[in-house]
Structure 1
Amino acid sequence: MHALKKNRPLRRIVLASAATVSGMVMLLSLKPHSTPDVGLAVPAPSSSSSASGGSSGSSGSSGSSGSSGSTGVSKTVTGDSVDTRWGPVQVKITVKNGKLTDVTAVVYPSENPRDQEINSYAIPKLRTEALAAQSADIDTVSGATYTSDGYRQSLQSALDSAKS
């Protein structure tokens, strides 16, 4: 009987250790749902800001350039840089024949992984809504309130500049 009492604590220790190791393996095998989005979304703004000819560095300026396409006049305007709690937001738009055809976020908060995670889903949603609404009257993206407000203000300044 004395031998059975010795084995019970050892058996409990072995089972508890096995359960702990199994639990840790399961936790470590889980991956956050946003990790692939962050990796895919980060390179896109970098290439668009380098393709914009350095307009991302001009804070608070509005610039426009017109070029004639085969079917109409296309005008590209960069809105004002709007300072938000988490960093500046600046939008560049393209208007063709009075219709908003493209919206690109040139500058937006991306200093840390959390900013990158939030903006990897917020910026595309804001772009889609702006193109659908054809105005700056767009909804705020949940979880990205400050970026949404800055995006809206920069978009409105770009639209105002495009009209004049």
Structure 2
Amino acid sequence: MVQSLPCVELVIADQAECCDIKTNCKILRTKERLPQILEFNGKLLFKFIGTLSGEEFTYTSESQIVWLQYRKYNKGRYAYFRNGYLYIVSELDLQYIRVDAVFEDPTELASYTDCNSNKCFDPESPYPLPEYMIQPLTSLIFSRELRDWMNGGRQDNRNNAEDDPQ
């Protein structure tokens, strides 16, 4: 379920997103919007955000960023998410980062490539689902489908993706 964008390009951007207003406060941001990330209990499901060599950034909310400068300890690298972009705080000399997350639609990663120009999603590759989840998920699907079939439920004899009348 976790997929990787191993080579996400960064650009230096103004911290303000207003068209005509510039703050002259520069920050790193992903060049392109990221595919929609799955949210669970109000939190985006990022697994890893960091350098290509594996140095992890601390993911935090945008509202917490302003207070991080006052920390006595742990003045590391931070990342936050806003309007589809990841913002990297504390550094301006990075060109690429790696992002591992649970994306809502894995096929959206087809437009992304790794550093060797290989696509991050291939429709022929196995779905990114851990093996321990396959059996319970299959059972759940079959139990519902079987129940619908036994109850004379939905049928699509015309193969038009619509339920046919009984």
With normalisation by structure 1, the TM-score equals 0.24
Structure index of larger Rg? 1
Structure whose residues are more often helix by fraction: 1
